[in-house]
Amino acid sequence: IRRQQINDLLKSTAFNTEVKVMGWVKTFRNNQFIALNDGSCMANIQVVVDFNNTPENLLKRITTGAAITVEGILVESLGKGQTVEIKASKVEILGDSDAEKYPLQPKKHSLEFLREIAHLRFRTNTFNAVFKVRHALAFAIHQFYNERGFVYMHTPVITASDAEGAGEMFRVTTLDFDHTPRTEDGKVDFSADFFGRSTNLTVSGQLEGELAATAFGKIYTFGPTFRAENSNTTRHLAEFWMIEPEVAFADLENNMELAEDMMKYVISYAKDHCAEELAFLNNRLLEEEKQKPQNERSELSLLEKLDFCLNNDFQRLTYTEAIDILKASKPNQKKQFKYLIEGWGADLQSEHERYLVEKHFKKPVILTDYPKDIKSFYMRLNDDGKTVAAMDILFPGIGEMIGGSQREERLDVLTKRMEEMGVPQDELWWYLDTRRFGTVPHAGFGLGFERLVLFVTGMTNIRDVIAFPRFPKSAEF
C-alpha cells in the first residue's frame, strides 16, 4: 500500500481500509496513543498501538521526535476533536530520537527559545503555519502578476551598482588571495577585487528591472536582496526578499493602484488558501493578548485586521499633509512626536509612521510626494521642484511595507539629480541609455516580502518569518 499524507487522511471517510503513513512522533501516551505529524498540516493523526502485541524494545523507541512508519486500519475516532485515527498493525522506526536530548519538548516553547534552535523550529505548529502562509503568499504574488501579463525577470544578485545610492552594500570579493589585485602598498585593491571589478550584493533589482520594463512593458522581480545595515530591529534583515514590479507608460497614480490591488489580492488569497493556519495564528495571538493589560490589547484580532485591510481603501495623502497632521498631534507621554514640529523636510521616523496608520487613520496609508532630499536619485521631480513622485505604503503594526515611485524619465533632469546627489553617471551609463533611446514615463515599487508575511501571520519579529534569518551576529548556518 502507498503512503498517504496525514492532511488527506484526516479528511477521509474510507473507514476500515488499510493505510500507511510516515511521520514524526509528537507525543506517545500510555504506551498506546501516538500523536503523529508529517508536516502536511499542523494537526496530528492519532495512532493507536496494540501494546500487548508490540515488543517492549520497540515501544521504548517511540519517542518524541522519532520518525516512524505506521501501517494499520483507518477507523472512526471516539476521541474529542478528531474524526479518524489509525489502529496500527505495524510500527517501524525510521529514525530514533533521544527524548532526553531532543530540544523540542511536547509543550509550548517561547519564540525566543525557538530562535535559538532555528534549525528545528519548523517542526512546531507555529512555524508550520507561518511557512505555509509564506508559501501561499509567494505563490499568490506570481499568480497576480502572471494573470496581468507581467514577465518575471531574474535580476542579478552580484552587481556593480548601488541601486539605492545609500551605500548599504556587502562587497563581493574572491578569496583567491594570490591573484587578488593589490595597490602599490600591498593592500587589496577594492576597485578590482572581483576578477578586475568592484562588485556587491544587490540592494534592489530596480535598475535592471527598468531596463526590462522599457522593453517588455511590464515586469516584476522576486528575489533576495541585501542591506549591510547594522540594525538589530524586529523589522530589518541583512538578507530579505523583495518583489519589484516595474511598468512602462505608467505614472504614480497607476503605481498606487497596482500596489493596492496586489496587496488585497495576495492577502485575500492567503485567507482562502490558509484558513486553518490563519485560524491557528489568530488564536495564538488572542492567547497572547490575554496576557496583556486591557489598555494595551489590540482592538482587532488578526483575522479582523486582514478583513479590514481588504474592505477599505488605503488612505492616500501627501507627505506635506502628513507633516501637518503630525504637527497638530499632541506629543504622547513619551514625547515621541515632538521634534517633528521642526517640520517639513524631516524624514519620518517609524514612530511617526505608526502614529499615522495606527492612531490617526487606523488603516493602510499611501504617503506620496516626499521632499526630494530624503529620497533616491531616480524618483521623478515634481513641478514644484521640491518634491518627488514617491510613494511609501505604511501598514498598521509594520510601518513601511512598500517603497516606490514614478521614475525620472527626462535625461537632463535625471543627470542633474545624479550630480547633486553624487551618484556616478559613468558607472550607470547603461541605465542612462534607457533615457537616451525611447524614454517613457514609468513607475514601480518594492514590497518587502517578510514584512508582508509579518502582517498576514501577525508575527511580531521579522526573524520568525524567514527560514534562515541573516542579521548582525546571526546563527551559524
Binding site for ligand 4AD (CB under 6 A): 163-164, 204, 206, 227, 229, 236-237, 240, 242, 244, 400-404, 444-446, 448, 450-451
Residue 433 interface partner, choices ligand 4AD, Mg ion, none, CB cut-off 5-8 Å depending on type? none
Least separation, in Å, of the C-beta of 206 and ligand 4AD?
Answer: 4
Residue 226 interface partner, choices ligand 4AD, Mg ion, none, CB cut-off 5-8 Å depending on type? none
Residue 404 interface partner, choices ligand 4AD, Mg ion, none, CB cut-off 5-8 Å depending on type? ligand 4AD
User: Are the C-beta atoms of 162 and 169 separated by less than 8 Å?
Assistant: yes
Interface with Mg ion includes 458 (CB under 5 A)?
A: no
Residue 41 interface partner, choices Mg ion, ligand 4AD, none, CB cut-off 5-8 Å depending on type? none
Residue 206 interface partner, choices ligand 4AD, Mg ion, none, CB cut-off 5-8 Å depending on type? ligand 4AD
Cα 280 from chain centroid (whole Å): 19
Least separation, in Å, of the C-beta of 390 and ligand 4AD?
Answer: 9
Size of interface with Mg ion, in residues (CB under 5 A) = 1
Least separation, in Å, of the C-beta of 321 and ligand 4AD?
Answer: 20
User: How many CB atoms neighbour CB 61 within 10 A?
Assistant: 18
Interface with Mg ion includes 448 (CB under 5 A)?
A: no
Judged by CB, which is closer to ligand 4AD: 118, or 454? 454
Interface with Mg ion includes 65 (CB under 5 A)?
A: no
When binding is defined by CB under 5 A, the residue of 399, 403, 444, 469 that contacts Mg ion is 403
Least separation, in Å, of the C-beta of 384 and ligand 4AD?
Answer: 21
Least separation, in Å, of the C-beta of 33 and ligand 4AD?
Answer: 43
DSSP H helical segments within 217-274, as ranges? 252-273
Question: Strand (E) positions, 166-213?
Answer: 171-172, 199-201
Interface with Mg ion includes 444 (CB under 5 A)?
A: no
3-class DSSP state for residue 197?
Answer: strand
Residue 448 interface partner, choices Mg ion, ligand 4AD, none, CB cut-off 5-8 Å depending on type? ligand 4AD
Q: Which residues pair with 74 in a beta bridge?
A: 86
392 contacts: CB under 8 Å, gap ≥ 6: 366, 367, 370, 400, 402, 403, 404
Angle between helices 275-290 and 252-273 (to 10 degrees): 90
* Contact map string, positions 413 to 442, toward Mg ion, x by CB under 5 A: ------------------------------
Judged by CB, which is closer to ligand 4AD: 128, or 255? 255
Angle between helices 125-147 and 252-273 (to 10 degrees): 130
Question: Given strand 315-318, what is the order of strands in its sheet?
Answer: 151-152, 218-226, 239-248, 442-448, 399-406, 387-395, 365-371, 315-318
Residue 163 interface partner, choices ligand 4AD, Mg ion, none, CB cut-off 5-8 Å depending on type? ligand 4AD
Least separation, in Å, of the C-beta of 284 and ligand 4AD?
Answer: 23
Judged by CB, which is closer to Mg ion: 166, or 467? 166
Question: What separation in angstroms does the CA of 413 have from each of 253, 417, 425, 449?
Answer: 21, 6, 13, 32
Least separation, in Å, of the C-beta of 408 and Mg ion?
Answer: 17
178 contacts: CB under 8 Å, gap ≥ 6: none
Judged by CB, which is closer to ligand 4AD: 127, or 240? 240
| Candidate segments 84-92, 214-222, 326-334, 403-411, binder of Mg ion by CB under 5 A | 403-411
Question: What separation in angstroms does the CA of 181 have from each of 160, 190, 301?
Answer: 17, 8, 58
Judged by CB, which is closer to Mg ion: 37, or 255? 255
Judged by CB, which is closer to ligand 4AD: 199, or 221? 221
Judged by CB, which is closer to Mg ion: 46, or 206? 206
**Residue closest to 441 by CA, chosen among 411, 409, 412:** 409
Judged by CB, which is closer to Mg ion: 223, or 403? 403
Judged by CB, which is closer to ligand 4AD: 61, or 227? 227
Least separation, in Å, of the C-beta of 237 and ligand 4AD?
Answer: 4
**Rounded CA gap, 381 and 414, in Å?**
9
Residue 441 interface partner, choices Mg ion, ligand 4AD, none, CB cut-off 5-8 Å depending on type? none
Q: Strand 365-371 vs strand 315-318: parallel, antiparallel, or unpaired?
A: parallel
**Rounded CA gap, 87 and 67, in Å?**
18
User: Are the C-beta atoms of 242 and 203 separated by less than 8 Å?
Assistant: no
Q: Strand 171-172 vs strand 151-152: parallel, antiparallel, or unpaired?
A: unpaired
Residue bearing cell 498540516? 41
Least separation, in Å, of the C-beta of 454 and ligand 4AD?
Answer: 10
Residue 248 interface partner, choices Mg ion, ligand 4AD, none, CB cut-off 5-8 Å depending on type? none
DSSP H helical segments within 294-428, as ranges? 302-311, 319-328, 350-354, 411-421
Least separation, in Å, of the C-beta of 36 and Mg ion?
Answer: 45
C-alpha torsion 368→373→379→384, nearest 10: 70
Least separation, in Å, of the C-beta of 335 and Mg ion?
Answer: 25
Contacts with Mg ion, residue ranges (CB under 5 A): 403
